[in-house]
Chain A
Amino acid sequence: MVPIIVALVVGIGMGYLRLLPARVFPLTGKLTTAGVMFLLFLLGGQIGSDEEILAGLGQMGVQAVLFALAAIAGSVFAVKALEAVLPLKPAEKEGGRGV
């Protein structure tokens, strides 16, 4: 876990400080896509070689939808609660930009 967080923080610092040449920077998007694909391939490999997980995928799908609906409902309620305490306004209607 520590190397992962360090890699993230180093990345944020390098991105913010523009440490990469402009020519190289767009390539990092492709790099992360390739990284995600490789990791998902490995995750798939682990799922595929484990018969218990394969058999449980259907039930897992139902749980996943319940989790997703609860996360959405919870976040909508939290925003309504926030708005009740602290009124929010969209950008253009704020008036007095840069305040």
Chain B
Amino acid sequence: MITLILLSLVVGIVAGYTGVIPAWVQANFDFLINCALCLLMWGIGLEIGGNRQILRQVGSLGYRIIFLPLAVAGGSIAGTLFVGSLLGMSPGDSAAIGAGFGWYSLSGVLLAKLHSVELGALAFLTNVSRETLSIILIPVVARYAGPFAAVAPGGATTMDVTLPLIVKFVGTDMALVAFFHGLVLSALVPVLVPLLV
């Protein structure tokens, strides 16, 4: 998946740089992006809504578990707000980058469309870094900060990419928690990013 994603981006950069993108595509950039984005959001909605059984099982975890993804959402945004203020960026832009929660493809294309190509590129790179750094840091966090903190770095990716890693380092009893955490954060990305920016 990451190979396909990086390949699409690189092919796009080369195409843009060499100027082989047809004029009619360039003239209708906005329209094409809107169509593709709506289609993409519809598909993401289908996948989120389709997890009905899992949402039912979550009841067995107790109501408190909803605070876990909410804390991670707040902590992530607070972190990027802090760095953004050091770099002299506007609070809205910094918060929107943090609200990607590691879902680089979606946060990148959303911000490129809703704000600017620069912010889209920065959100893409930030959230790719978040996923990569999570893979490195989850074992460390699991050891020194415990099982729930170990779910935090992965953000939205704890329902797919980083799920096996979390299970490996904190045990299978955290699998449902990690999946639910990733699902809630994934659902928050397409809502929070447009609202914050």
Which residues of A pack against B, CB within 8 Å? 1, 3-5, 7-18, 20, 25, 28-29, 31-33, 35-50, 53-54, 56-57, 60-61, 63-83, 86, 88-94, 97-99
B164 part of interface (Cβ distance < 8 Å): no
Which residues of B pack against A, CB within 8 Å? 1, 4-5, 8-19, 21, 29, 32-34, 36-52, 59-62, 64-65, 67-68, 71-72, 74-80, 82-84, 87, 94, 97-98, 101, 105-106, 108-110, 112, 114, 117-118, 120-122, 124-130, 133-134, 137, 141, 145-149, 151-153, 155, 171, 173-174, 176-177, 187, 190-191, 194
Q: Is the CB of A70 within 8 A of B80?
A: yes
Q: Is the CB of B98 within 8 A of A43?
A: no
- Residue from the set B19, B50, B98, B155 with the largest chain A CB neighbour count within 10 Å: B50
Q: Is the CB of B108 within 8 A of A40?
A: yes
Q: Is the CB of B146 within 8 A of A83?
A: yes
Q: Provided the pairs A32-B47, A68-B130, A82-B68 are in contact, do residues A47 and B121 lie with their beta carbons within 8 angstroms?
A: yes
Separation in Å of the A96 CB from the closest CB of chain B? 9
Complex interface: chain A residues within 8 A of B64 (CB): 86, 88
Question: What would be 18 A-B contacts, judged by CB atoms less than 8 Å apart?
Answer: A1-B114, A7-B38, A11-B46, A15-B48, A16-B49, A31-B43, A32-B43, A41-B12, A43-B120, A46-B112, A67-B97, A71-B155, A72-B153, A74-B79, A75-B79, A79-B149, A82-B67, A99-B60
Q: Is the interface of A mostly helix, strand, loop or mixed?
A: helix
Q: Is the CB of B127 within 8 A of A14?
A: no
Complex interface: chain A residues within 8 A of B79 (CB): 67, 69-75
Q: Which of A12, A67, A81, A98 has a CB less than 8 Å from the CB of B83?
A: A67
Complex interface: chain B residues within 8 A of A68 (CB): 126-127, 129-130, 133
